[in-house]
Amino acid sequence: MRESTIMKIHYGTALAAVALVAVHILMRLTMGFAESLEYETVLANYKFIPYAVMLS
């Protein structure tokens, strides 16, 4: 594989990871820090399929 292709994959996945982490953090900021860690809240995250797919 060409070096340029490897770097494009490297940088593309890096930028995608940054975007996904940003969404993950923004979801946490929609409520209080302690509230976001409650058992019911975390469970609700995983029951919300689009968000669970994104985390996966």
Partner 1 sequence: MTQDEHKEGIKGMANPSRYGIERVAYWLMRLSGLGLLAYFVAHIYETSNILRGQVGWDEFLELTQTTEGHLFLAIVIAMCVFHTVNGIRVMLGHGGVGVGKPARPDYPYDPASQNYRHKIGIYSAIVLAAIAMMYGLAVMFGE
- SS3 per-residue string spanning the chain: CCHHHHHHHHHHHHHHHHHHHHHHHHHHHCCCHHHHCCHHHHHHHHHCHHHHHHHC
Residue with Cβ nearer partner 1 (21 or 23): 21
Q: Confirm or reject binding of residue 11 to partner 1 (CB under 8 A).
A: yes
Residues 12-31 that bind partner 1 (CB under 8 A): 14, 18, 21
**Given the complex with partner 1, which of 33 and 49 has the nearer CB atom?**
33
User: Which chain residues interact with partner 1 by CB under 8 A?
Assistant: 7, 11, 14, 18, 21, 32-34, 37, 39, 42-43, 46
